[in-house]
Amino acid sequence: MPDSPEMYSEWRRLVVKHKVLGTKVHDARLVVSMISHNVERILTFNTADFIRYALEGITAVHPAAA
């Protein structure tokens, strides 16, 4: 999915809002891309990493539950 210039400000908003640090900033980047492209679910083994984004409309699904 292509990036847009507006994605950086949205990414920064999420990082600050959710106090994201370290390698978890990459998850925030995925979430911003998902939001900008109207994708609501992500398939991941690390569902706990995405719980903080539930209020943003993102649902993490573990492969065993899919």
3-state SS class at 18: coil
For residue 39, the one-letter residue type is V
Cα Rg for the chain, rounded, in angstroms?
11
What local confidence, expressed as pLDDT, does residue 66 receive?
Answer: 72
Q: Which residues in the chain show pLDDT less than 70?
A: none
What's the chain's length in residues?
Answer: 66
Tally Cβ neighbours within 10 Å of residue 61.
13
Checking DSSP bridges between strand 59-61 and strand 41-43, what pairing results, if any?
parallel
What local confidence, expressed as pLDDT, does residue 6 receive?
Answer: 86
Write the CB contacts of 57 (distance below 8 Å, at least 6 apart in sequence).
35, 40
